[in-house]
Structure 1
Amino acid sequence: MQTKINKVELRNLEIEDYKQLKKSMIQSYPEMADSYWKSDDIERLLSIFPEGQLVILVDGKVVGSALSLIIDEKLVDKKHNYQQISGNYTFSTHNKNAEILYGIDVFIHPSYRGLRLGRRLYDARKELCEQLNLKAIVFAGRIPNYRQYSSKMSPKAYIEKVKSKELYDPVLSFQLSNDFHVLKIMKNYLEGDEESKEFAVLLEWNNIYYDESPKLINTQKNIIRLGLIQWQMRQLNNVEALFEQAEFFIDVVSGYGSDFALFPELFIAPLMADYNHLSEAEAIRELARHSEPIRKRFQEFAISYNINIITGSMPYLEGGNLYNVGFLCKRDGTSEMYTKIHITPNEVVHWGMKGGSQFKTFDTDCGKIGILICYDVEFPELSRLLADEGMNILFVPFLTDTQNGYTRVKHCSQARAIENECYVAIAGCVGNLPKVNNMDIQYAQASVFTPSDFAFPSNGIKAEATPNTEMTLIVDVDLNLLKQLHEHGSVRILKDRRTDLYQIQKMNP
């Protein structure tokens, strides 16, 4: 894997991608170097089923692909090999009115494995299957490690041992972990596949939303899953210990299919213990040296775990000034900075922090979001301006030492959700930190707040974590409910403003 990745993109294959596609495929199948798809094959696929051909690009380079056909269920149920299912490589078996999305190829360049890019391709196929209202995804997977065991056991015994995790197969193990189940063993499936002894495993993923009476399926994602991390302050020996703990939580919320992971404000404060002999202002400036390496590592996590990460906040030095900032690390490999605008008296007196001058909404693959750090949510003008820019979800990483401080953040966040007809997700730190000055105690309760109308909980609280306990909070929010509220709510706060009498606007800093 290359050391730095700036952007990851998943999109439909284009014929202009062919040269790079060919190179990556040859690298992916060194044992079958002469079996790559020819340009005529790709042109034919794109002409009959363009939406079924996918590629992954890293910094503009094609590093993986998934190719598919739509096949009649009766043909899939019959005993077949690769040549037959592909119509002798003419793809004449493709039938746009059939029921099965059949995968004819998927690969990731060896240099880019370990980033879960293959999982993205599989997830995209599942989304396509749902959008096209197809019954299932079926394909025959190779079992390349079987050659090592073919003299000792049958293919059936080998597959059972892989399923029970007694053995590992780089293809089958990955497919089983992606919710595919085994239908049957295929003999003489792919000619020349010596690693698999020409055996393959027919696998299936069922579309639970399949409707035998076809209907138009909305392709826009409306159910967004939020993963909030209620972080326990603890002694950390070094920044690698921080990364280990952070990755654990990212893995957890990603494993539950979360679209976002939200960390608290200044959750990296335990690293200041090494500088406790310095003044508070000097110690936090030393802590700021970690901010850029943390951003880079979290950007890697966002790619690897296919999740958008809001890094809470951390101190940041720029031009001799100390700011409180965080980063939105998107799963496409890009990142953007956000800055705390309003600085508390404590931050000014003890640390000499300054407030930022830029705030905006952020475009993500789940729509527009806003991010305000702690004290900022207590100033309603900011979130109103973000709502005017189309914000659907407001994230608030916070750090409060007492229950009084938390109460301010909680109730102001609830007010912002009602005022701006949006969801508000908050997450903070819990526990004690005795070896870091000015960071002794913390109090928090991660929560997701909603507008107040019939479609939402009557108390405006979608979910809450247990107070002052390290944990995660996984919550689904429905953007369709916001659309309905904007147009048909009992009250329509955004629409009913008297802008003929009053308005707020951003000033040029």
Structure 2
Amino acid sequence: MQEVSIRNYGRGDFANLIALQVQCFPPPFPSELWWNEEQLSEHATRFPEGALCAVIEGRIVGSMTALRRTIRVDEPQDWASVTDEGYIRNHEPNGDTIYVVDLCVAPEYRKLGLGKWLMQSMYETVVHLGCSRLLGGGRMPGYGAVSDKLTPQQYINQVTEGHLRDPVISFMLNCGRLPIGIVAHYLEDEQSEHFGALMEWKNPFLARS
């Protein structure tokens, strides 16, 4: 048993958060997509409620970042466009959607369920702020191995129905998020053939017409 705390991150955490990114996203993931201090400063100042980290014995072992926006169906849905390339300068204080920019857990701590706890903490943020949903794209790292046999939508259907397992999409499904669409050129990500799945969690406490 290990004691874990989930808290907001700030300037004193930036070096450790960047080191965590390097651990979590090794090549072929593009190194230019790892956080830099300017991005982290924007996260912590523009939307501190969406800047979370998990800490064990003083070490940051996981993090989750989000921004608040109202997402239009006719706008580009790739990661760079929706998140301002991770700088979140397009954050909207009154947006109806909490959009996940990033979620990562140090490899040696991934069996502890920290990713799920971070996700649950962000659900609480959705509810607390009265937003309608949590949304975000998910990498599909298992897709590259079967892309000659399945379309991206067929792959997501297979994962959702439990016939295939994807390290990212299956995790999101286990956290209660559901796929609502496929985004081409979501990220520069060879394992996913550059596709992403839009994954949604609706606020169950919000009255709907």
Q: For the superposition of Structure 1 and Structure 2, which TM-score range results when normalised by the shorter chain?
A: over 0.9
Q: For 1:9 and 1:169, how far apart are their aligned partners in 2? A: 28
Q: Please state how far the C-alpha of 1:73 moved relative to its aligned partner.
A: 3.2
Q: Which residue of 2 aligns with 1:201?
A: 197
Gap change, CA 1:89 and 1:65, over 3 Å in 2 = closer
Q: State whether structure 2 residue 95 is matched by structure 1 residue 98.
A: yes
Q: For 1:164 and 1:124, how far apart are their aligned partners in 2? A: 26
Q: For 2:8 and 2:82, how far apart are their aligned partners in 1? A: 22
Q: Please state how far the C-alpha of 1:90 moved relative to its aligned partner.
A: 3.5
Gap change, CA 1:13 and 1:112, over 3 Å in 2 = same
Q: For 1:6 and 1:197, how far apart are their aligned partners in 2? A: 37
Q: For 2:86 and 2:182, how far apart are their aligned partners in 1? A: 22
Maintained 8 Å contact 1:133/1:211? no
Task: Give SS of 2:158's match.
Answer: helix
Match of 1:180 among 157, 177, 180: 177
Maintained 8 Å contact 2:179/2:199? yes
Q: For 1:68 and 1:29, how far apart are their aligned partners in 2? A: 18
Q: State whether structure 2 residue 82 is matched by structure 1 residue 85.
A: yes
Q: Please state how far the C-alpha of 1:77 moved relative to its aligned partner.
A: 5.9
Q: Which residue of 2 aligns with 1:14?
A: 10
Matches within 5 A, 1:165-314: 165-191=162-188, 193-210=189-206
Deviations 1:213-264 (A, max 9, x none): xxxxxxxxxxxxxxxxxxxxxxxxxxxxxxxxxxxxxxxxxxxxxxxxxxxx
Q: For 1:171 and 1:89, how far apart are their aligned partners in 2? A: 19
Q: Please state how far the C-alpha of 1:117 moved relative to its aligned partner.
A: 0.5
Q: Which residue of 1 aligns with 2:50?
A: 52
Q: Which amino acid aligns with 2:49?
A: E
Identity of aligned residues (%): 30
Query: Which has the higher Rg, Structure 1 or Structure 2?
Result: 1
Structure with the greater relative contact order (CA < 8 A, sep ≥ 6): 1 or 2? Answer: 2
Consecutive aligned runs of 4 or more in structure 1 exceeding 4 Å deviation: none
Q: Please state how far the C-alpha of 1:30 moved relative to its aligned partner.
A: 0.6
Q: Which amino acid aligns with 2:177?
A: F
Q: Which residue of 2 aligns with 1:252?
A: none
Task: Give SS of 1:112's match.
Answer: helix
Q: For 2:46 and 2:21, how far apart are their aligned partners in 1? A: 22
Q: For 2:76 and 2:161, how far apart are their aligned partners in 1? A: 26
Q: For 1:175 and 1:84, how far apart are their aligned partners in 2? A: 22
Q: Which residue of 1 aligns with 2:144?
A: 147
Q: For 2:20 and 2:88, how far apart are their aligned partners in 1? A: 22
Task: Give SS of 1:114's match.
Answer: helix
Q: Which residue of 2 aligns with 1:37?
A: 35
Q: Please state how far the C-alpha of 1:211 moved relative to its aligned partner.
A: 5.1
Q: For 1:136 and 1:190, how far apart are their aligned partners in 2? A: 22
Maintained 8 Å contact 2:42/2:89? no
Task: Give SS of 2:173's match.
Answer: helix
Q: Please state how far the C-alpha of 1:165 moved relative to its aligned partner.
A: 1.1
Q: For 1:40 and 1:145, how far apart are their aligned partners in 2? A: 32
Q: State whether structure 2 residue 127 is matched by structure 1 residue 126.
A: no
Deviations 1:170-221 (A, max 9, x none): 1000101111111100001112x10101000001100021258xxxxxxxxx
Task: Give SS of 2:191's match.
Answer: coil
Task: Give SS of 1:66's match.
Answer: strand
Q: For 1:164 and 1:6, how far apart are their aligned partners in 2? A: 34
Deviations 1:69-100 (A, max 9, x none): 001132x6634211111124432221001100
Q: For 2:174 and 2:157, how far apart are their aligned partners in 1? A: 14
Deviations 1:430-487 (A, max 9, x none): xxxxxxxxxxxxxxxxxxxxxxxxxxxxxxxxxxxxxxxxxxxxxxxxxxxxxxxxxx
Q: Which amino acid aligns with 2:105?
A: I
Q: Please state how far the C-alpha of 1:57 moved relative to its aligned partner.
A: 0.8
Match of 1:158 among 155, 158, 166: 155
Q: For 2:123 and 2:142, how far apart are their aligned partners in 1? A: 26
Maintained 8 Å contact 1:79/1:186? no
Q: For 1:61 and 1:43, how far apart are their aligned partners in 2? A: 20
Q: For 2:159 and 2:207, how far apart are their aligned partners in 1? A: 33
Deviations 1:276-315 (A, max 9, x none): xxxxxxxxxxxxxxxxxxxxxxxxxxxxxxxxxxxxxxxx
Gap change, CA 1:139 and 1:196, over 3 Å in 2 = same
Matches within 5 A, 1:422-501: none
Matches within 5 A, 1:341-490: none
Gap change, CA 1:63 and 1:77, over 3 Å in 2 = farther
Deviations 1:8-43 (A, max 9, x none): 111111111111111111111012261210011100
Q: Please state how far the C-alpha of 1:164 moved relative to its aligned partner.
A: 1.3
Maintained 8 Å contact 1:26/1:33? no
Q: Which amino acid aligns with 2:63?
A: S
Q: Which amino acid aligns with 2:56?
A: V
Maintained 8 Å contact 2:9/2:53? yes
